[in-house]
Structure 1
């Protein structure tokens, strides 16, 4: 499986992902408000009012207008990046608050995720005047040294010298200044920024957070139904930033499922961050975390689940799916033969025919209850192994995908699973009287089980994640749907004349129903890969695909030797093996060598001791650097080769501007990161600069060339 990772790296960085900067960062601006043009953005200072009253305040705005596809960062930048910063120089009578950050958006570059802003963003800043501030006859000047990082498929640090003039007026003018300031903030960039700032929780809002081994389940009660929600953490390394956040709309709010960071070993006391319900509505929360294993219930009085598919909808779909099952080739002959029996005995008493229909229905219902009892026992017995999380459990998802694929192959016509089952139960159905009707119902259930109808699959998938009584109701509805056509015919035998005869149309219908099931398998495979850290998702997905290949072999066995108990046994054993294949992939701890801090002296000392050197020029805000390190440099294969070759590993961290690192980059004819350089042990040999897009083969080959 190791060959997948270089392919992923190449796809991600085919456009030359990297960070680039000159030998030094030149600040734009001359101390005025601007706007000033910098690389890929324009920056300026604006004010709601150029007067500030004694004891009053005024709101400024730091405005970034960005070129298309470029962005700056939120206060928690995510997996990489740095937020803008401003250092102020003001008279002692004035104080300036920190930048305030509007609600951000998610900025993905697989397999990582950043939080920030595109197009334009304004950061509000509040300036306060002391009550005894000295009045000014002329405006006083406030200066700000602003730093930022702007990124697209590469990142550029930037600086600006900005400033703005304010006049301090007497306290008696405070009301006028406030009125003018409020009017000015009703429109323009400041108005937009202030509307996007997170709000404190309202008095009637409530939050509940349950921390499970794999996720945080955040329930946000607002009193009204919410359809969208995202969580952005103020604290780094608590959540898996790149993971999708699943949401459940509730009648009085929303529930958000947030995957925990794999590096988070202990459950934190609180979940502190921002809940974004829309572009114009977000709230800051700091909610205690309760340890648990499942999502909290929304209300003790709520009788209907808040899931997007309600219980009543699922029950209705199950009933309709049961009716459709009668049209499957494995079930329709049973119904047709029973209808013929009704025609032959049309002179019999109608009440007697109805009794047989009821007994037939009982056979189906009892059979489905037996299947349900087995499923519930498995669910209860496996609760500690992940059944409580269902679709969050890789084991559950892989087994579900493999068996749905197996049934899909049958529906598509590769083999007829119903033949073996029909031959196994047909004898019982031949009994006379009520026993024959009962076991005909049992037979109908048995042969219907592999013929998953389109609407039935969604209902059963929902049922298995719900409380027992809802599961029971859905399975009972499914059974009644399957039994209803014959039950109706037994009450009205004359209606048998409208039944179509079995024919080729049934096979076509069955094959068409395989299409949505194959689509479900594709979705489950995608979901399975998302349940693992990014570096392992592709490998684990490959193992799942191997499992699907093995189960296809089981299907071929049933196709080659149909309706035989030996072939059925062999196919069952192969299918069980297929279900176990995805469990062969395990997350292996990768060996991480110690990276020493870079210095020119360290390179010289290592080469003087006849040690080769590998230097990783990187930065925390460089997304491509982080991915190269995760997928290549810190992989087991490359780390073992470093160890075998006795390579000294140096990390040149350029997160903060460092003139020594800048000079070393210039010496190898580079001006940005990522840059990777191999220095041979022989100081007389020139170093080799590797490409920005790394693969394991590139690194290993470079080591082999330079360390002979």
Structure 2
């Protein structure tokens, strides 16, 4: 899975209150078929109508109203990544028929890396009754069997026997103004697309692009598909306002290998406006063309000349940012130490340093334009979204800071100063110091830069190139001006012992930068997995720093020796391999649950892990993807020869229900470890972490 914005959402699970064990193993049917509300686990259900009477040959809106406890939810007709919608089975008097249950506008319900579609608080599902013309007047009773799935961290199936008393009356009329939860739901049903609106759908390799012409600029939209496995439910749906409507980019499901003929679903413009749509899909790609997206507010009134000017000023100010200033200071040291050298050579170093910045910026611009042409969005500092880039950057700065702090001496080759070695490698050093200045500048945004960059990224390639070139020249300007005007170096302090002290102080700034980069690195993993994953990867990066410190100690202990240089290089390569290399995850085989399978496994004496799960259980899917499939847990399962059994409760299974009852549970997720030998069952919490599973395995796999 790509590293994306959703890598820390699993942390939200820790904020929820974990539901305790339930007292009954069977799915109890609440209610006796009479009218009125009935209370079930975490919700109240009731049948209601808009009027007490129904005319022969007429219609009447009735509905199922569900009132939920806080943070519990039920599902839309397409539940999303997991879940099941409510269902009604009617038993009606002769001459009265019921239409399909209707679903009001849903909401997106994120949990971890998954997304459900459904409702919280209170929802009503309308149903239209129709009476035949020959139905006899008088009282009638409507009988309904209702089932649902209500979820939070655990998912609880529920059933109710509900009823509604009505009267068949030839004088019955429909209410003038629908009221209550049912009346509100009727107003929130998605409507057919009006004739003056137009929808086109383009199906690309990675996304569907929905262009809805509404006649006015529209700034918000969401799409909910009727068919499963068409879109990536949890993916970002990108809204691009148009002058006469809206463009919505919906990520395509990775499981959708063949483009469907039509796209069916609901397009939601706000909480009260949605349209039921069915549109043919035209194969093709719709790139994010320059200027097609909304500009940042501060950039709307900019001209090209103003943006270029702001970028140049922003580049100059960027030198004062904590992430860049240490590099500029080191270049200043080089000028101090080279004040007696040939002025022409100093100027050439300044130009080479500028070239290093320019080339680096042009590479960044090229990558941004390539991503934009391919339909992706990226901005200033996009490379910091890559864990590999962050690990290499943080390691390089850490190693450089060790030298500045005095652990070892790599000279000042990066700052292009004197000596025969500098004459051979000094220009290379100046060039790559410009590269380093660019690299460490990307996390920063100086004043005036934001509007200029926002404007640049919405323009044509040449304008984007010109604005970023101006930004690069602004970043290079202070050192370039000093090198072009050697007389100004007289204003700088003379060389002396203070330079070594200042160098060590600069190391502190670099170490602080490393701490921040380490935080960013860990956040990439923490945002889509358990908190322990972020900590785990930070620990790997810290181990890398430890090995780099050993490499630095080798260089300092045996300086100027080729053997020590080779040894330090080998240790450095091993150091980078620690955070960058991740072994492929193995997937073990799970046996389907049955009483015979469990009995056989217990007779063999091996530890047993049972996963009580269901396809409609969102927490089950989160626990499985982020914990049970993790390399650490899979490795322990394999090492301890744990028999893995999956008790799939997607469809009601009496054997699984009985087994749940034997351990005092009635819902999923439930996780049980039977220790090696004949020990009693160890029931784990509903919300898993790797530490919980690993600790339980350690305890229960002892012979």
User: Is 1:420 matched up with 2:403?
Assistant: no
Kept in 2, the 8 Å contact 1:463–1:470? The answer is yes
Distance 2:636 2:422 in 1: 65
Structure 2 CA distance for aligned equivalents of residues 317 and 552 of structure 1: 42
The 10-residue stretch of structure 1 (567-576 or 227-236) with the greater mean CA deviation from structure 2? 567-576
Structure 2 residue aligned with 1:688, among 680, 686, 692? 680
Pair 1:164-2:157 in alignment: no
Q: How big is the shift at 1:233?
A: 4.0
CA offsets 1:264-323 (integer angstroms, 9 cap, x no match) = 55555555444444333344455566777xx72356xx6465465969698566433311
Give per-residue Cα distances to partners, 1:558-584, cap 9 Å, x unaligned.
899799999999999987776665552
Measured after TM superposition, the shift of residue 87 of structure 1 is 0.7
Residue 89 of structure 1 is matched in structure 2 by 91
* Secondary structure at 1:31 match in 2: coil
Structure 1 range deviating more: 575-584 or 62-71: 575-584
What's the counterpart of residue 341 of structure 2? Answer: none
CA contact (8 A) 2:65 2:125 kept: yes
* CA distance 1:428–1:169, change in 2 (3 Å): farther
Alignment map for 1:580-659 (pairs within 5 Å): 581-596=578-593, 598=594, 600=595, 616-627=611-622, 629-630=624-625, 631-632=627-628, 636-637=634-635, 640=638, 651-659=646-654
Matched, 1:546 2:540: yes
1:526 maps onto 2:519 in alignment = no
Query: Equivalent residue for 2:271?
Result: 279
What is the distance in 2 between the residues matched to 1:26 and 1:686? 33
Q: Return closer, same or farther for 1:526/1:126 CA change in 2, 3 Å cut-off.
A: farther
Question: SS of the counterpart of 1:321?
Answer: helix
Aligned with 1:69: secondary structure?
coil
Q: How far 1:369 sits from its partner (Å)?
A: 4.4
- Alpha-carbon separation, structure 2, partners of 1:614 and 1:603: 10
In the alignment, structure 1 residue 102 sits paired with structure 2 residue 95: no
Question: Distance in 2 between the 1:482 and 1:395 partners?
Answer: 19
Number of residue equivalences = 649
Partner of 2:391: 402
Gaps of 5+ in 1: 1-7, 340-357, 431-437
The alpha carbon displacement at 1:91 in A equals 3.5
Partner of 2:286: 296
Deviations along 1:385-435, one digit per CA (max 9) or x if unpaired, are x996869999971233235535765998984999433216999999xxxxx
Distance 1:582 1:641, change over 3 A: closer
How far 1:590 moved relative to its partner? 0.6
Q: 1:118 is matched with which residue?
A: 120
Please, which runs of 5 or more residues in structure 2 have no aligned partner? 1-9, 337-346, 686-691
Flag the 1:308–1:372 CA change in 2: closer, same or farther, 3 A: same
Q: 1:487 to 1:699 in 2, by over 3 A?
A: closer
Give the match's secondary structure for 1:76. Answer: strand
Structure number with higher relative contact order (C-alpha < 8 Å, ≥ 6 residues apart): 2
Cα separation, 2, equivalents of 1:565 and 1:318: 46
**2:340 aligned residue:** none
2:138 partner SS: coil
Which residues of 2 match residues 192-211 of structure 1 at below 5 A? 192-202=184-194, 203-211=196-204
TM-score of the two chains, using structure 2 as the length reference: 0.69
Kindly indicate whether the alpha-carbon contact (under 8 Å) linking 1:361 and 1:480 is maintained by their aligned counterparts in 2: no
Three-state SS of the structure 2 residue aligned to 1:370 is helix
Shift of 1:48: 2.0
Q: Secondary structure at the match of 2:588?
A: coil
Conserved 8 A contact 2:675-2:681: no
Asked if residue 476 in structure 1 is aligned to residue 469 in structure 2, the reply is yes
Residue of structure 2 in register with 1:184 after alignment: 178
Point out the more displaced range, 149-158 or 252-261: 252-261
CA deviations 1:613-664 (Å, max 9, x no partner) are 876544444455445555338964466468x57x5x6654444444454444
Q: Work out whether residues 384 and 390 of structure 2, in 8 Å CA contact, stay in contact via their aligned partners in 1.
A: no
Measured against aligned partners, the alpha-carbon deviations of 1:70-126 in whole angstroms (never above 9, x if no partner) come to 322222334443321111122453332222223333444435544332221122222
Of 224, 228, 233, which residue of structure 2 is paired with 1:236?
228
Judge conservation of contact 2:362–2:465 (CA < 8 Å) in 1. Answer: no
Judge conservation of contact 2:25–2:665 (CA < 8 Å) in 1.
Answer: no
**Equivalent position of 2:24 in the other structure:** 22
Q: TM-score, normalization: structure 1?
A: 0.69
Give the direction of change, closer, same or farther, for the CA distance of 1:510–1:219 in structure 2 (3 Å limit).
farther
| 1:137 aligned residue | 137
> Structure 1 residues 541, 613: CA separation in 2 closer, same or farther (over 3 Å shift)?
closer
Question: Any conservation in 1 of the 2:402–2:552 contact (CA below 8 Å)?
Answer: no
